[in-house]
Chain A
C-alpha cells in the first residue's frame, strides 16, 4: 500500500530530519507557495488563471509559461551552483572540511547539471520557440496547439517531480548523465536515481512532443511566399534543433528505459554481471548528449542572427553561408560522441576519427562568428541590452570554442579529461554561448510579449555582472584543471588550490547579482502589469527600431490571432522589405478568424503523469496502474468529448482589436 515509504533504506524523510539546509529550504518554498495560493485566492484570479493560462492553447501564453518555468528552475539550479562554490571554497583538508557531507554534495552537483540542462535551458528554449516561431513565419498558431499545451504540462510535472526529491527521499548522486554501474541498484539503492529517471523521462517525452510540433509548424505553416531560403535564421536553427531532438531524444528514452529495466525488473543491460556492459550505456547517452549540446546552441546562434542585424541596422552578412553552416553542424553533431571518452582506450583509428570530426565541427561554428562580425561591419550599432548580450556572447564564445578544440585533440584531452578544465570549457560555451544568447533573445522579445521594454539600466547591470562574474568564476577552474583538480570533488588536500576556488566563488556571487538585476527588472514589469490589472495596453510594433522579421509587424503584445491578414512574403527579412517598399497595414475589411478552443486535458494529463512518476519512484504499484490508466483515459476522453471545432472570432471583434492598434499608432504619429 505505501510502497517504499515503509522501507527504512529508502530514507523517505531523512533529509528533512538530518539536513537543516534542506529543511529550511522546504519550509521556505512551502511558505512562498502558500502565499502565492492565498494571493491568487484573495485577488480572485483562479478563474482567469484557469481560462487564460492553464487551459490555453495559445502558443504565446504557453511560451510565457515555459519561460517562467525556466526562470524558476534557473534560480533553483543556480542556488545549487552557489552552494557548490561555497563548499569547495572551504573544503580543503578532509571530508568534514566543507559544510556539505559527500552524500549531500553529490546530490547537489547531479541536480545542478540535470536541472540546468533539462529544466532550465530546454524550457527556456521552448519558451522562445513558442513565442517567436509562429510570429516569425506569419502563422496564427503552431501546428498542434493541444500538443503544445500537453508538452508544457508534462515538462512542468517533470520539474515538480525532480524538486519533490528535495523533500521526500533524496536525489541521485551519480553526475548528470548517471553512468552505470553507479546508477544501478548496486550503486544507488535508494529513490534518488528513480527520481532522476522518471523526471527526465517526462521531460524527454515533453521535449519530443514539442519537437514534433515545431518541425510540423515550420514545414507546413509558413506564410505564403516564404520559401525555406526566405526564412529568418532563427527559424532555420529552430527547425534543425527540433530535427535533432527528434533524432536523439528517442535514444535517451531507450537508454533510460533499459536502465529502468535493470533497476525495476532485475535485468542486466548495464550491470557488471549477467553479461551487462556499462560502456554500452555511456555510448547511448553520449549519442544523445553531444547532439543535445547543438540542440541548445543552434537556437542561440539563431537569436544572434536576429538581434545583431537589428541593432546594427543592417542585413545579416552571408545568410546562405549561415544556413549551410547549420546544416553541416546537423550532420557532424552525430559523428563526434566518442570524444566524451577518448580515455577509454579506443585505439588509434577510433581516436583519430573522432578527434578529427570534432575539430571539423569547429569550422561551421567559427564561420558564424564571422557572419555576425561582418554584420556589424559598416553598420550603425546601438548598444542596447540585447546587443550587449550578443557582443558578450561572441567575445566569450570564441574562447569557449578555442578550449573546445584543445579538448578535441585526443592526446591533449588525455590530460584534460574530467578535470576542472573540462568543467570550465563547457560552462564557457554554455554560459558564454547559450545563456548569454538566450538572455539576448529574452530581453529582445520581451517588449513584443508585453508591450514594454525591461528597465535598461538594470539590463545593462545584469549583463555586466554576468560577464565579469563568468570570467571570474570559470578562469580559475581552467587553472585548477591544469593543476590536476578533477570535477565533482567533495574535498581536496592541496592548500594551493583554495585561492582559486575562492575567486571562483566570488565570481559566482557576482553572477548572482546579475540574476538579481533580472529579477528586479521582472518585478518592475510585473508591477506595470499589476497597475493595468493584467490587461496590457497595446504598444508600438517595432520598439527597437529597424527590426527585420514579421513578428515586429504586428502590435505588442500581439492579438490572440497574431495576424489579422496573413502576410504575403516576397523576400528575406519580410518586415524590413515592407518598410522599405512603404506597404501600408490594412485597417479594415477583416474576415472571421478561426481559433482553437481551450482544453483542460493537457493539464490533467500532466498532473497524472506527475502522479505516475511519483508512484513509480516509491513503488506504489496500485497508484502506477491507476494513474497510467487515467492518463490514457484523459487522452481518449479528450479525443471524443472535447471541442475540436474551435470557434470563430467575428470580423467585428477583429476590427475592434485592430482599431486599438491603429489608434495607438496614430496617437504616436506613426504612419503604418
Chain B
C-alpha cells in the first residue's frame, strides 16, 4: 500500500512536470505582491528574449541542414565575410532588447527595493501598519523576534494576511539568506549587519521558507514556515506564544547560538529589550562593547571620522 502511494505521487509529479501547470511551482504561483511582480517580470523577460533566441536556435539547425555539404544545390560563397547590413542588425537587435530589459529592471529595482516599504493601499480597518519582525539566522535555525509583541519564535512565522511585514535581518555567525519563494525577494542575513526587507502575503496559507545561502553542516535544516492567517487567528497565536514558559534573554540566546540541527519550533513568551540591537552589534555577552560604540570611538579618533562620520560628536 505504501509502495503504491509512493508510485502514485511519483507518477503524479511526472505528469505535472509534463504539463508544468497545475503543480505547485512556488515562484510561478506566488502568494504575495512582491513575488507576483517578480513572476510577471520573469515571464515578460523570458518571452521577450525568446523572440530572438528561438529564431536563432531554428536558424542554427536550418543552416546546418540547408548548407550541408551534400546539398550542392545551395549557394556557396566562400569569400563572403562582411556585410554592414547584417552587422547592423546583429548588434542592433540585442542592444534594443537589452535596452528594454534594462528599463524594466531599473523600474522594478526602484519599485521593489527591499528596504523600502511597499506601496500598499490602506485598508479601511486601519490594519495596514507594518508588522515588524527581527530575524536572526543562527546555526542552524531561524530566530524570529516580534518586538512590538514582546515575543519570539524559532522556525515559525505567523503574520496576518494582507498586512505588510517589515523584516530586519542579521546573522549570528555565518551568512544565510532569508527566502520564502511564495512571497518573493531573497535577502542575505549577514553578521554585523542589519538588512531590511518588506514582504506581504495576499493569501492565507502555509508557505515554506528556506535559507538560500549555504552555511555549513546543518544548512539543509534551516527551514521555517510562514503562516499567513487572519487577524483573529494571528491574535490567538500571539496569545498562545505568550503562554509559553520559555523566555528569551541573553543567556537563552547564547545557548541558542550553539550549533545544532533539527531544533523544533519553539515559542518565547518574553524577550529581553534591545536584544536584536545587541545581536547586530555583537554585544550580547555581558561586558562586551557594541560595534556601534567601537566604531564611534574609532571615528572620533580620525580626521575622516570628524569630517564624514555618521556619528554626531558635538
Task: For B294, list chain A residues within 8 Å (CB).
Answer: 275
Flag if A359 contacts B184 (CB, 8 Å).
no
Once bound together, how far apart are the Cα atoms of A316 and B80, in whole Å? 9
A411/B191 contact (C-beta < 8 A), A103-B217, A314-B78, A487-B214 known:
no
A162 to chain B, nearest CB (A): 20
A195: interface (CB < 8 Å): no
A379: interface (CB < 8 Å): yes
A312/B67 contact (C-beta < 8 A), A343-B177, A415-B35 known:
yes
B195 to chain A, nearest CB (A): 4
Question: Which of A277, A414, A481, A484: most chain B Cβ within 10 A?
Answer: A414
Flag if B181 contacts A272 (CB, 8 Å).
no
Task: For A320, list chain B residues within 8 Å (CB).
Answer: 82
B99 to chain A, nearest CB (A): 9
Flag if A366 contacts B94 (CB, 8 Å).
yes
**Of the residues A106, A345, A489, A494, contact of B187 by C-beta under 8 Å:** A345
Task: For A417, list chain B residues within 8 Å (CB).
Answer: 177, 179, 186, 212
**One of B25-33, B145-153, B304-312 contacting the partner:** B25-33
Q: Is the interface of A mostly helix, strand, loop or mixed?
A: helix
Flag if A394 contacts B60 (CB, 8 Å).
yes
A412/B45 contact (C-beta < 8 A), A378-B74, A381-B64 known:
yes
A317: interface (CB < 8 Å): yes
Flag if B113 contacts A348 (CB, 8 Å).
yes
**Of the residues A359, A399, A414, A489, contact of B114 by C-beta under 8 Å:** A414
**Of the residues A313, A370, A374, A401, contact of B78 by C-beta under 8 Å:** A313
Flag if A373 contacts B177 (CB, 8 Å).
no
A490/B220 contact (C-beta < 8 A), A314-B78, A318-B87, A496-B23 known:
yes
Flag if A367 contacts B94 (CB, 8 Å).
yes
**Of the residues B102, B186, B223, contact of A356 by C-beta under 8 Å:** B102
A597 to chain B, nearest CB (A): 43
Nearest to A362 among chain B residues (CB) is: B98
Task: For B115, list chain A residues within 8 Å (CB).
Answer: 345, 347
How many chain B residues touch A (Cβ–Cβ < 8 Å)?
A: 100
Flag if A414 contacts B184 (CB, 8 Å).
yes
Once bound together, how far apart are the Cα atoms of A378 and B13, in whole Å? 46
0 or 1 for each of B192-219: is its CB under 8 Å from A? (1 = yes): 1101110000000000101111111111
B22 to chain A, nearest CB (A): 12
Flag if B75 contacts A378 (CB, 8 Å).
yes
B10 to chain A, nearest CB (A): 6
Flag if B68 contacts A383 (CB, 8 Å).
yes
Once bound together, how far apart are the Cα atoms of A606 and B221, in whole Å? 42
B40 to chain A, nearest CB (A): 10
B269: interface (CB < 8 Å): no
B191 to chain A, nearest CB (A): 5
A377: interface (CB < 8 Å): yes
Once bound together, how far apart are the Cα atoms of A537 and B121, in whole Å? 81
Flag if B177 contacts A418 (CB, 8 Å).
yes
Flag if B45 contacts A406 (CB, 8 Å).
yes
A596: interface (CB < 8 Å): no
B192 to chain A, nearest CB (A): 6
A344/B190 contact (C-beta < 8 A), A272-B173, A355-B105, A398-B56 known:
yes
Flag if A279 contacts B193 (CB, 8 Å).
yes
Task: For B56, list chain A residues within 8 Å (CB).
Answer: 369-370, 373, 398
The A454-499 residues at the B interface (CB cut-off 8 A) are 476, 479, 481-484, 486-496, 498-499
The A165-189 residues at the B interface (CB cut-off 8 A) are 173-175, 179, 181-182, 186-187
B293 to chain A, nearest CB (A): 13
Once bound together, how far apart are the Cα atoms of A313 and B69, in whole Å? 9
B24: interface (CB < 8 Å): yes
Flag if B174 contacts A484 (CB, 8 Å).
no
0 or 1 for each of A92-128: is its CB under 8 Å from B? (1 = yes): 0001000000110010000000000000000000000
A410: interface (CB < 8 Å): yes
A233 to chain B, nearest CB (A): 12
Once bound together, how far apart are the Cα atoms of A181 and B216, in whole Å? 10
Flag if B112 contacts A411 (CB, 8 Å).
yes
Once bound together, how far apart are the Cα atoms of A402 and B215, in whole Å? 29
Question: Which of A95, A174, A482, A498: most chain B Cβ within 10 A?
Answer: A482
Once bound together, how far apart are the Cα atoms of A348 and B110, in whole Å? 6
**Of the residues A187, A359, A370, contact of B173 by C-beta under 8 Å:** A187
A543: interface (CB < 8 Å): no
Flag if A344 contacts B188 (CB, 8 Å).
yes
Nearest to A411 among chain B residues (CB) is: B108
The A604-619 residues at the B interface (CB cut-off 8 A) are none
Flag if B42 contacts A415 (CB, 8 Å).
yes
Once bound together, how far apart are the Cα atoms of A409 and B108, in whole Å? 9
B1: interface (CB < 8 Å): no
A210 to chain B, nearest CB (A): 31
Task: For A341, list chain B residues within 8 Å (CB).
Answer: 188
0 or 1 for each of A568-599: is its CB under 8 Å from B? (1 = yes): 00000000000000000000000000000000
B282: interface (CB < 8 Å): yes
**Of the residues A275, A405, A418, contact of B45 by C-beta under 8 Å:** A405
Task: For B64, list chain A residues within 8 Å (CB).
Answer: 376, 381, 383, 391
Flag if B91 contacts A500 (CB, 8 Å).
no
Flag if A410 contacts B109 (CB, 8 Å).
yes
**Of the residues A317, A319, A381, A499, contact of B17 by C-beta under 8 Å:** A499
Flag if B63 contacts A360 (CB, 8 Å).
no
B86: interface (CB < 8 Å): yes
Flag if A419 contacts B45 (CB, 8 Å).
no
A644: interface (CB < 8 Å): no
A650: interface (CB < 8 Å): no
B239: interface (CB < 8 Å): no
The B214-260 residues at the A interface (CB cut-off 8 A) are 214-221, 223
Flag if A373 contacts B59 (CB, 8 Å).
yes
Flag if A319 contacts B81 (CB, 8 Å).
yes
Task: For A376, list chain B residues within 8 Å (CB).
Answer: 60, 63-64, 67
Task: For A375, list chain B residues within 8 Å (CB).
Answer: 81
B130: interface (CB < 8 Å): no
Once bound together, how far apart are the Cα atoms of A402 and B49, in whole Å? 7
Task: For A348, list chain B residues within 8 Å (CB).
Answer: 109-110, 113
A199 to chain B, nearest CB (A): 20
The B1-54 residues at the A interface (CB cut-off 8 A) are 9-10, 13-14, 16-17, 20, 23-28, 35, 37-39, 41-42, 45-46, 49-50, 52-53
A351: interface (CB < 8 Å): yes
Task: For A495, list chain B residues within 8 Å (CB).
Answer: 9, 13
Task: For B39, list chain A residues within 8 Å (CB).
Answer: 415
**17 A-B Cβ contacts within 8 A?**
A102-B218, A103-B217, A106-B217, A182-B216, A272-B282, A277-B192, A343-B185, A345-B195, A363-B95, A371-B90, A376-B67, A380-B76, A381-B63, A381-B64, A417-B212, A484-B208, A491-B220
- Which residues of B are interface residues toward A (Cβ below 8 A)? 9-10, 13-14, 16-17, 20, 23-28, 35, 37-39, 41-42, 45-46, 49-50, 52-53, 56-57, 59-61, 63-64, 67-69, 74-83, 86-87, 90-91, 94-95, 98, 101-102, 104-106, 108-110, 112-115, 173-175, 177, 179, 181-182, 184-188, 190-193, 195-197, 208, 210-221, 223, 261, 282, 294
